[in-house]
Structure formats: structure tokens, C-alpha cells
Amino acid sequence: MKLTSKRIVVTGVSSGIGAETARILRAHGAIVIGMDRNEPHLSLDHFIQADLSHPDAIDAAVRQLPDTLDGLCNIAGVPGTADPQRVAQINYLGLRHLCAALLPRIRAGGSIVNVASILGAEWPLRVDLHKALARTDSFADGQAWLAEHPVPPESCYQYFKEALIVWNALQAQPWFLQTSVRMNCVAPGPVFTPILGDFVAMLGKERIDADAHRMKRPAYADEVAAAIAFLCADESRWVNGINLPVDGGLASTYV
Amino acid sequence: MKLTSKRIVVTGVSSGIGAETARILRAHGAIVIGMDRNEPHLSLDHFIQADLSHPDAIDAAVRQLPDTLDGLCNIAGVPGTADPQRVAQINYLGLRHLCAALLPRIRAGGSIVNVASILGAEWPLRVDLHKALARTDSFADGQAWLAEHPVPPESCYQYFKEALIVWNALQAQPWFLQTSVRMNCVAPGPVFTPILGDFVAMLGKERIDADAHRMKRPAYADEVAAAIAFLCADESRWVNGINLPVDGGLASTYV
């Protein structure tokens, strides 16, 4: 894959899919600037410690980044077992804030990749709500809209993954037409990562057992990372605004 | 992309997306066996001349193939300006027949890629019909079902692309669980190929003008081929049962 010398920011770089993405990008010659709350235990070209749940912290991290970039992989995320406020802030509002802050620095031909989830597949059921939230244009406006349209805490993970898929679809083409920067989502199914247990707790035994008969196994994080790397690479240069399932076929069994 | 020494059959190899796919696969070290009605004007490892509209002709071509393969790219297709019978036969019934005939020869880890279209995006409107057709399990049974459920000739291209997307989604996971062979679709938007003019004639000026404001330009065939090559390569090994849009963001503007 053509990634040589591309300068790419990877959030959530210290574990799971983020760490594997950094490894693959660097193996293909990219320059990886990692961000995470936690210290990384892998080689990176640069690392910025940051909690991406608040715009001030994000802005502080952004100030430490170079003026020109070739890509951004938004992989940081918390599971549905976390505080629902943090789910909204990290998985959606903060992600949007970071994209908007970095877009002016990403060169034409660059790429943004957002990690959604197979659990966002039911976005068409609530598409009008998700479009309304997508139209808010700052972290604070989004938070104000959410205060008026509260999300059930038990399904907040799914809700904000759906919202991310819809925002990605609405925002990608306007940005691409203006800046020639592409933006896409990846939608992993179950993945062997440090937070797999949180998903089992969140979804319950019935759904886990039903899915187990429909798939071979959870993905290895590097299998998801390989698809993220493709979306960063020049080989995907005409892929924009999509949500790419990387689930070993699981989602197709629900068609 | 990891494609070295993979033995891949490419239909529709003599022009457009098929020719570009062969070029990219071979540039990455794959062994390409091309099939087409017309003579190719590019280097291939082997070429079989065949009209893929009839099971006997497909079976005759299959007899000339090696016993083990790593992939199949179903790129042969005719536009909606062709005879509707040929659209059904080449774009759907023959494609399925070739997949079923070659599946036992494709090694674990191998990949089938089917070229669908952005024009198949409305499959959910007719999903029950498409599922019923998908359940027919031979070329002849499919033809008999179609005789009882006739397709309007003016929309037969869209209909069989929708049907292909649904069949792909239903068939991919059972095959993957049994054989570890993946199967996916690619859905190009407008592409600069020898049949671009046929699409303009088929869709009419109004749709063409509406789409023109929603995209940068038609794709180059090599941009679609790069995504097909990814789906053949080991980098996509956990991608299965999906329909990957390669349309420069056009489909996302209809969310």
C-alpha cells in the first residue's frame, strides 16, 4: 500500500486497533504521530498524551502537531460500559472537533478514517435525529442539542456509533469537494481487544450467542487495522463517504 | 498489497475496469487468467475467449482453468442498453454460475469480487424479490423464476445489480464458514470506460446533471481496480459479504 512518508495522526494508539494501525502504517513507511491517554508500548515517530474528551484538551494537543499532515485515524473510543457523558464526548463530539481542527492541515489527497462499529448498523431507524445532531457545528452546540434530546444511557454506545456513520456520510463529500481530503468509517464486528469483555457485558449473553453462530471468531485487531491502512493509502483514493464493515461477514447475515 | 503468486481469474479482462484490474494484480505479482468475448490488448498470464452469457460456454471455459485458484474477479458486464435477456444472463445468472463452478477450486483465504454498481443502491426497496431469486440455485432455475417474475426492460440493469448485491450478502457468509473463501461486491459510480456513454443514454440528462453537481468527476477505471485488488489481497482478509462503494463520495450524498 502506498503510505511512504505520509504523516498520519492515530488516536487511541496505545492499545488494540490503534496500536495495530500504527504498526501497519509504520511498516509501510508512514510517519505516525500517536495520541492516547495512556503511554504507548510500541515505536512511534511522535507521541502526544491527551484525553480527547474535552475541546480544550484537544486544542492543546493540536497545537503540538505539525502544520501539514496526510491523514488522521480516529480510533480512540470508550465502550458502552463507560460514563455515558464520556461516550458522547470521546466517541462523537471530540472526534468531530479533532477532525475540524485538523482538516486545514491535511493535504489534498489525504484521508480521515473514523472507527465506527457493527453496532451502528441500525442508523436508518433514527436517521432524522442523527442528521439533526450532525447539523450542530461545534462541540458546545452538539452538547446543547444532546441536553435537549437525551440519549438512553444503556444504548448510548450504539447511538453515537450510528450518529458517527451519519455525520461521516453527510460531511465527507462537502469536505472532499472543497479540500480533496477523503473521509470514511470502518465498522468492526467483535474484535479481540482489551475492551472485548465490556462489549460482552453491554450486549448480554443472548446477542453474543446469536452472533457466535453467524461468524468464525472475533477479528484480530490487525485485521481491522489493515482495512484502516487501505483507507489511508492512495489505493483507496476514490473511496469516500463510506462505512466499510470489517467483521468477517457478520453484518451480511442480518440482510 | 499481498498478491504475489496468487492465481486470479478476471472476467471482462479486455477493456475498462477488467483490464485495469489485470494490470494492477500483475504489477503486484499475481498470475492473471483473463476471460472475455474480445481479444485482450495487454499482457496476461493466460487468456480464455468466452461469452459468459450461457452455462455451456461458461462450463467450457471452466474446463480450461487450473485445478487450484486464489481468486475470481467477476468484472464482465453489459450496460442497460443491451438486450435485457443478456443483462440477466451475463450480469447475474452467468456470474453466479461461474462462482459456483469455481468455488471448489479456490483455496482457503481466497477471494471472489463481483462488480455491482451505485445503480444497485435501491436494493432494500425490492429485497424480498431479490431474496427469492437468490434462493434459486441454478442458471436454469433462475431463468424459470424470472419468466414468472418479469423485470421491466428499462430498469433491468439496476434490477440485476440490486439482485447481485443481495445474493452476494446472502451467499458470502455460508461460503466463508464452509470454505474460508471470501466474497464481496464493489459498487462503482460513473467511470470513464468504453460504456460510459451507454449509462448516459440509459439514465437520461436529468439524473446525469444532478449527479454531476454531487461529484468531482467520473472515476478512472484504475481507481476502481485498486479497490478490487484490495479485496483480492490478504489485507482485506476480514472483509466479507460487503458492498464497497468506489464512487468518490457520490452515494453518500444520497443518505
For residue B216, the Cα-to-chain-centroid distance in whole angstroms is 24
Residue A97 maps to a domain? yes
Residue carrying the nine cell digits 423464476: B145
In which domain, by residue range, is A160 found?
7-189+220-245
B249 contact residues in A (CB cutoff 8 A)? 172-173, 176-177, 182, 240-241
Number of domains, chain B: 1
B234 and B109 in contact (C-beta within 8 Å)? yes
| Domain annotation covers residue B1 | no
- pLDDT tops 90 at residue B242: yes
Kindly report the nearest CA distance between residue A170 and chain B, in angstroms.
7
Rounded to whole angstroms, the Cα distance separating A70 from B242 reads: 27
CATH of the domain at B212: 3.40.50.720
Rounded Cα gap, residues B30 and A222, in angstroms: 23
Residues 6+ apart with CB under 8 A from B116: B161, B164, B165, B168, B185, B186, B187, B243
Interacting residues of B126 by C-beta distance below 8 A, sequence separation 6+: B159, B162
Are the C-beta atoms of A247 and A188 separated by less than 8 Å?
Answer: yes
The pLDDT of residue B104: 98
Distance (Å, rounded) from C-alpha B59 to C-alpha B61?
Answer: 5
The residue of chain B nearest to residue A179, with distances taken between CA atoms, is B216
Q: For the packed helices A94-102 and A55-62, what is the interaxial angle rounded to 10 degrees? A: 30
Give the contacts of B46 (CB within 8 A, at least 6 positions apart). Answer: B32, B33, B34
pLDDT given at position A55: 98
* A164 three-state secondary structure: helix
Q: How far does A51 lie from chain B, in Å, by closest CA? A: 30
Distance between CA B115 and CA B135 in Å, rounded? 20
pLDDT in tens, B170-204: 999 999 999 999 999 999 999 998 888 889 999 99
Test mutation, B115, B183, B234, B252, chain A, max A CBs within 10 A? B252
Whether B253 is covered by a domain: the verdict is no
pLDDT under 70: residue ranges of chain A: none
ipTM score above 0.95: yes
Q: Does A42 touch chain B (CB under 8 A)?
A: no
Is residue A202 assigned to a domain? no
Q: What are phi and psi of B12, to 5 degrees?
A: 70, 30
Distance (Å) of CA A160 to CA A16, A59, A168: 20, 22, 12
Beta bridge partners of B71: B8, B111
d(CA A80, CA A134): 21
Q: Which amino acid is at B84?
A: P
Which among B227, B238, B244 has CB closest to A224? B238
Catalytic residue among B92, B157, B159, B220: B157
Instruction: Note whether residue B252 is domain-resident.
Output: no
Alpha helices by DSSP H, A41-155: 55-62, 84-88, 94-102, 127-135, 139-148
Percent of chain A with pLDDT over 70: 100
The proportion of chain B whose per-residue pLDDT surpasses 90, expressed as a percent, equals 96
Residue A204 lies in a domain: no
Which residues pair with residue A114 across a beta bridge? A74, A185
Residue in B closest to A189 by C-alpha: B238
User: Do the Cβ atoms of A216 and B245 come within 8 Å?
Assistant: no
| The three grid cell numbers given for residue A121, joined into one nine-digit string | 448498523
Q: What is the pLDDT of residue A194?
A: 87
Residue count of chain A: 255
Angstrom distance (rounded) from CA B180 to CA A5: 35
Question: Which pLDDT score is estimated for A195?
Answer: 87
| Centroid of chain to Cα B110 | 16
Any chain B CB within 8 A of the CB of A241?
A: yes
Mean pLDDT of chain A: 97
Contacts of B168 in chain A (CB under 8 A): 252
Query: In this complex, is the C-beta atom of B226 within 8 Å of any C-beta atom belonging to chain A?
Result: yes
Q: Is residue A209 part of a domain?
A: no
- pLDDT for position A142: 98
Q: Reduce the DSSP state of residue A51 to 3 states and report it.
A: coil
Residue range B79-88, pLDDT digits in tens: 999 999 999 9
* Shortest alpha-carbon distance between residue A44 and chain B (Å): 22
**In chain A, which among 106-165 make CB contacts under 8 A with chain B?**
127
Res B195: pLDDT? 87
CA torsion sign for B16, A226, A103, A89 is positive
Q: What is the pLDDT of residue B252?
A: 97
Q: How far apart are CA A16 and CA B34, in angstroms?
A: 40
**pLDDT for A43:** 98
A215 found inside a domain:
no
pLDDT in tens, B15-56: 999 999 999 999 999 999 999 999 999 999 999 999 999 999
Q: Please provide the DSSP assignment of chain B as one string.
A: ---TT-EEEEESTTSHHHHHHHHHHHHTT-EEEEEESSPP-S--SEEEE--TTSHHHHHHHHTTS-S-EEEEEE-----TTS-HHHHHIIIIIHHHHHHHHHGGGEEEEEEEEEE--GGGTTGGGGHHHHHHHHH--SHHHHHHHHHHSPPPGGGHHHHHHHHHHHHHHHHHHHHHHHH--EEEEEEE-SEESTTHHHHHHHHHHHHHHHHHTTSSSPEEHHHHHHHHHHHHSGGGTT--S-EEEESTTTGGGG-
Closest CA to B254 of A224, A246, A241: A241
Cβ–Cβ under 8 Å, residues A71 and A9: yes
Smallest CA–CA distance from A237 into chain B, residue: B223
